[in-house]
Amino acid sequence: MAMAFNSLYALTLFVSLLLSFFMSISIADNSHAVVPPETLCHSTLDPSYCKFVLANQNGSIYDYCQISVRKSLSQSRKFLNAMYSYLQNPSSLSQPTILALQDCQLLSELNFEYLSKTLDTVDKAKDVLPTSQEDDVHTLLSAVLTNYQTCLDGLQTSASDPRVKNGLLSQLLDDMKLNSVSLYLFTKAWVPENRIWKPHGAIQNDGLPLKMSNKVRAIYDSAKGQGRKLLQTSDDSESVLVSDIVVVSKDGSGNFTTINDAIAAAPNNTAVTDGYFIIIISEGIYQEYVSIAKNKKFLMLIGDGINRTIITGDHNVVDGFTTFNSATFAVVGQGFVGVNITFRNTAGPSKHQAVAVRNGADMSTFYSCSFEGYQDTLYTHSLRQFYRECDIYGTVDFIFGNAAVVLQNCNMYPRLPLSGQFNAITAQGRTDPNQNTGISIQNATIKAAQDLAPTVGTVETYLGRPWKEYSRTVYIQSFMDSLIAPAGWHEWNGSFALSTLYYAEYDNTGPGSNTANRVNWSGFHVIDANDAVNFTVSSFLDGDDWVPRTSIPYQTSL
């Protein structure tokens, strides 16, 4: 009898697994299969809301994604109109509320643009999207959620007008849930499983650790000396296409005396095939708040070197700014490149959040730059970003945000924080498991800044802490000096996010790299090369498609 029962149980289990397998195949591979909304919605963050979005609908997963994205676009337009409405009469609002609403307006304009592009793509898409197009849309939908979250954070912490909060927060939370559904459906319809998380397998080594040699110096010399449309580098087979070149110099010897004037002169909405508009910034201290808008694409700013060309400001939260608009230098224009520049926020640790650079520019690159601040120095806000051979100074959460970002061959210098504070190098802000975002730190050197060095052992420094629920940060092949606390990572607030985050370390060196006494959170991992390769420039950023055109050197894999 027992044998018969076991056989029946085994058969039932086999049939159940077989049905599940064929259901998954039908969902993933058959664009014509009609799928009940319940089948898809059970794996979302809010199944009941997903069912509400897809109520009375009947179609394939592709149909559902189109429906959800269309609704997301419609809602984004309504939210943007609400921003315009509130800001039409700013005299009735407090200054902190106005600043928070202005942030939301900018972010909402970006969301409307991103969702318009997404809908155009999914409406025309076949069963399979080209990898680059799929990565573009995945990135845009991830950024939409990040933008809404940034708006929400600003309204909750800065807006002092209850009328504004009550009128916007519920709408904002619903829009975030709707966009989470759109992101989930897109990943299920068009993102192959091996793009969400690549499977274990042999790592290919083509023997070329660097995809490009360092040609930036030759570009700089050619630009400053000749101003050619096509800048030939030391290797004539490689070149950087340039539309125009201008020089900023404080002494009046260039085309402009301010960086903002040079940026204003750049053409609008250029394509990558038009070439870079290069702005050479001569040595000097530029006390400017620079903002590169979304229509200023493919700008390349080249300074005279770290601590020679310096852009500086001191906006901060204590003095009434939001974290988002405290940045000395902010960029959202696609394809931005910054080289040989120091970016500073001099507000100091007592002013708390004070951003030196806020980057929300897709396919942006910083090379041989320095970012100097205390709390919240480098805001890697959204989209795809690459940093190479940069110096980053700070105290609390000094690299934060929700971009897909790789920092390669950079130096991290934790500084002396306020009394009673500890240092956290990163605070990554991923809010949804389907976002393709995270911080990857590869081949870095982490050492105490000059002011912290005498106190190592009395001031704790951690690799990161979870700002948001699905925070994701990875350290790969980096040197960690003795300032890193043995636990490695610090909680944000009790047990928040400790099981949903993804923190990982691979093949690091130095006295602070020992993982024997690391945190025992279920979200922390010591990984192998097969997992680490997912967080390299090639895999994580799809960087082989866009970093080479900058002529910035980079390592494509491990």
Q: Is 424 helix (H, G, I), strand (E, B) or coil?
A: strand
- Report the C-alpha gap between 456 and 414 in whole angstroms: 10
In a domain, 211, yes or no: no
One-letter amino acid for residue 558 of the chain: L
Same domain, 301 and 419: no
> Would you put residue 14 in left (φ > 0), alpha (ψ -120 to 50) or beta?
alpha
Task: Give yes or no: residues 417 and 338 share one domain.
Answer: no
Structural contact between residues 309 and 281, judged by C-beta atoms closer than 8 angstroms: yes
Distances (CA, A) of 343 to 315, 328, 371, 517: 13, 7, 5, 36
- 501 in a structural domain: yes
- From edge to edge, which strands make up the β-sheet containing 502-506? 230-232, 239-248, 276-281, 299-303, 337-339, 364-367, 384-388, 404-408, 438-442, 472-476, 502-506, 524-526
Q: What DSSP character marks residue 450? A: T
Residues whose CB falls within 8 Å of the CB of residue 35, separated by 6 or more in sequence, listed in order: 26, 27, 59, 60, 61, 64
Q: Which single residue is written with the structure tokens 């400053």? A: 224
Residue 525 has a CB neighbour count (10 Å cut-off) of 16
> What is the domain-level CATH number for residue 491?
2.160.20.10
Asked if residue 168 and residue 57 are part of one domain, the reply reads: yes
Domain housing 180: 37-190
Return d(Cα 182, Cα 184) in angstroms, integer.
Answer: 5
Contact 295, 269 (CB under 8 A): yes
Whether 558 contacts 203, CB under 8 Å: yes
- Please count the CA atoms within 13 angstroms of the CA of 453 that sit on its side-chain side: 7
| 406 and 337 assigned to the same domain | no
Of 349, 371, 387, the last residue of a domain is 349
DSSP structure class, residue 437: -
What does the DSSP 8-state code read for residue 289? -
* 397 has catalytic annotation: yes
Based on the fold, state whether residues 336 and 458 are members of the same structural domain. no
Could you tell me if residue 275 is left (phi over 0), alpha (psi between -120 and 50 degrees) or otherwise beta?
A: left
What is the pLDDT tens value at each position of the chain, 558 positions in all?
Answer: 333 434 434 444 443 444 343 334 333 444 568 888 888 899 899 999 999 999 988 889 999 999 999 999 999 999 999 999 999 988 889 999 999 999 999 999 999 999 999 999 999 988 888 888 999 999 999 999 999 999 999 999 887 788 888 889 999 999 999 999 999 999 999 987 755 554 333 333 333 333 333 445 555 555 554 443 334 444 444 567 888 999 999 999 999 999 999 999 999 999 999 999 999 999 999 999 999 999 999 999 999 999 999 999 999 999 999 999 999 999 999 999 999 999 999 999 999 999 999 999 999 999 999 999 999 999 999 999 999 999 999 999 999 999 999 999 999 999 999 999 999 999 999 999 999 999 999 999 999 999 999 988 899 999 999 999 999 999 999 999 999 999 999 999 999 999 999 999 999 999 999 999 999 999 999 999 999 999 999 999 999 999 999 989 999 989
In this structure, the answer to whether residues 341 and 406 fall within a common structural domain is no
Check 153, 397, 481, 542 and give the catalytic one.
397
For residue 494, is it within any domain?
Answer: yes
Q: Which of 349, 373, 405 is the last residue of a domain?
A: 349
Nearest in space to 414 (alpha carbons), one of 455, 382, 358, 467: 455
Whether 438 maps to a domain, the answer reads yes
The span from the CA of 334 to the CA of 292, in Å, is 10
Q: Which of 319, 349, 379 is the last residue of a domain?
A: 349
Q: Are residues 338 and 401 in the same domain?
A: no
Give the whole-angstrom CA distance, residue 96 versus residue 454.
39
DSSP H or E run through 401: strand 396-401
Q: Which residue has the tokens 């910034």?
A: 281
Angle at the Cα of 447 (from 369 to 499), degrees rounded to 5? 95
The C-alpha atoms of residue 328 and residue 285 are separated, in whole angstroms, by 13
pTM of the model: 0.89
Domain contains 383: no
What is the count of structural domains for the chain? 3
Contacts of 454 (CB under 8 A, 6+ apart): none
| Nearest one of 249, 396, 244, 380 to 309, comparing CA atoms | 249
* DSSP reduced 3-state for 545: helix
Please report whether residue 97 resides in a domain: yes
- Please check whether residues 329 and 430 belong to one and the same domain: no
- Give the helix/strand (H/E) hosting 68: helix 61-87
